[in-house]
């Protein structure tokens, strides 16, 4: 069953999620691009930072989720937001000066194979910048995976979308081999969360959402209860707060002008 996204759920930790985008944006060296595209723009709250950085550029945001685009269109009327599949866009779009993708490529299977097309959509001398999570071996993901593989859940979750990514050096080598000048790095954030079951709240808006939506209504409550219990054990509360380590992979590449 195809999953859908909930913009309001996703925005629960908007400040924490947005830190990586701000860091990514700061390393793009484009002085005055004419066109800027945000692939996988989500609810558009971060796309607006592209408009602040480059007020004279044509800024647009694309996302495959109609729910996200509906929310994004309320953010800034000067930005064009459209529902689109980034793989289709990468195959036939006009070249742009800056192409940004934040926490999206991990949902595209074999996204390394997509990088040549993305580079091809950037003008010579332009910039490709993206960020993906690199925390898929952490309990926030492994607990979901292990629980979803148990009966009676496995028959419903076997084919759900699961995010994945690569180490920075893999992206560096791939893009350098395409003639790009590449800056690749990683950062582990320590997000301090509060409230009831905050790690569950975080993952249920992103990585765990396809699994939760795949479960029938009579099984989902028991799954969520056990998922929350295991997450509380893995991420214990101390003094009213929970620390969620979150590793992210960053890549900023300038396409050769030669």
* HEC profile of the chain: CCCCCCHHHHHHHHHHHHHHHHHHHHCCCCCCCCEEEEECCCCCCCHHHHHHHCCCCEEEEEECCHHHHHHHCCCCCCCEEEECCHHHHHHHCCCEEEEEEECCHHHCCCHHHHHHHHHHCEEEEEEEEEEEECCCCCHHHHHHHHHHCCCCCHHHHCCCCCCCCCCHHHHHHHHHCCCCEEEEEEEEEEEEECCCCHHHHHHHCCCCHHHHHHCCCCCHHHHHHHHHHHHHHHCCCECCEEEEEEEEEEEEEECCCC
For 140-149, 164-173, 198-207, which range has the lowest pLDDT when averaged over its residues?
Answer: 198-207
User: pLDDT at residue 210 above 60?
Assistant: yes
- Nearest Cα neighbor of 207 from 170, 168, 165 is 165
The pLDDT value recorded for residue 7 is: 57
The pLDDT value recorded for residue 93 is: 76
User: pLDDT at residue 11 above 60?
Assistant: no
Average pLDDT of span 233-255: 97
User: pLDDT at residue 6 above 80?
Assistant: no
Q: Which residue has the tokens 């793989």?
A: 87
User: pLDDT at residue 146 above 60?
Assistant: yes
The pLDDT value recorded for residue 66 is: 93
Average pLDDT of span 9-22: 76
In the predicted model, what is the mean pLDDT of the chain? 93
CA distance 144 to 212: 10
Ordered by where they begin, the domains of the chain are 7-254 (3.40.50.150)
Percentage of the chain beyond pLDDT 70 is 94
The pLDDT value recorded for residue 128 is: 98
The pLDDT value recorded for residue 91 is: 81
**pLDDT tens profile 43-52:** 999 999 999 9
Average pLDDT of span 31-54: 95
User: pLDDT at residue 64 above 70?
Assistant: yes
Average pLDDT of span 19-32: 95
**pLDDT tens profile 154-198:** 999 998 988 999 999 999 999 999 999 999 999 999 999 999 999
Q: Which residue has the tokens 């692939």?
A: 39
Average pLDDT of span 89-98: 89
Average pLDDT of span 136-154: 96
User: pLDDT at residue 152 above 70?
Assistant: yes
pLDDT-derived band at 1, boundaries 50, 70, 90: very low
User: pLDDT at residue 5 above 70?
Assistant: no
User: What is the four-CA torsion angle of 253, 32, 50, 210, rounded to 10 degrees?
Assistant: -30
């Amino acid at each position: 069953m195809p999953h859908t996204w909930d913009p309001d759920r996703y925005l629960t930790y908007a400040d924490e999620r947005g830190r990586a985008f701000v860091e990514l944006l700061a390393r793009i060296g484009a002085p005055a691009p004419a066109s800027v595209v945000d692939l996988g723009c989500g609810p558009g709250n971060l796309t607006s930072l592209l408009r602040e950085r480059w007020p004279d550029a044509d800024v647009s945001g694309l996302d495959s989720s109609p729910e996200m685009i509906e929310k994004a269109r309320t953010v800034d009327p000067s930005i064009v937001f459209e529902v689109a599949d980034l793989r289709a866009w990468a195959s036939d779009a006009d070249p742009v000066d800056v192409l940004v993708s934040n926490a999206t490529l991990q949902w595209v299977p074999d996204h390394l194979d997509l990088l040549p097309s993305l580079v091809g959509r950037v003008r010579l001398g332009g910039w490709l910048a993206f960020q993906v999570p690199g925390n898929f071996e952490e309990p926030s993901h492994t607990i979901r995976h292990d629980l979803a593989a148990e009966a009676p859940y496995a028959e419903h979750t076997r084919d759900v979308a699961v995010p994945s990514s690569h180490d920075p050096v893999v992206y560096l080598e791939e893009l350098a081999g395409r003639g790009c000048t590449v800056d690749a790095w990683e950062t582990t954030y320590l997000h301090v969360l509060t409230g009831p079951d905050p790690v569950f709240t975080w993952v249920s808006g992103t990585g765990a959402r396809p699994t939760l939506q795949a479960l029938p209504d009579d099984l989902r409550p028991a799954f969520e209860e056990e998922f929350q219990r295991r997450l509380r054990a893995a991420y214990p509360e101390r003094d009213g707060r929970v620390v969620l380590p979150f590793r992210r992979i960053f890549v900023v590449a300038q396409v050769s002008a030669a």
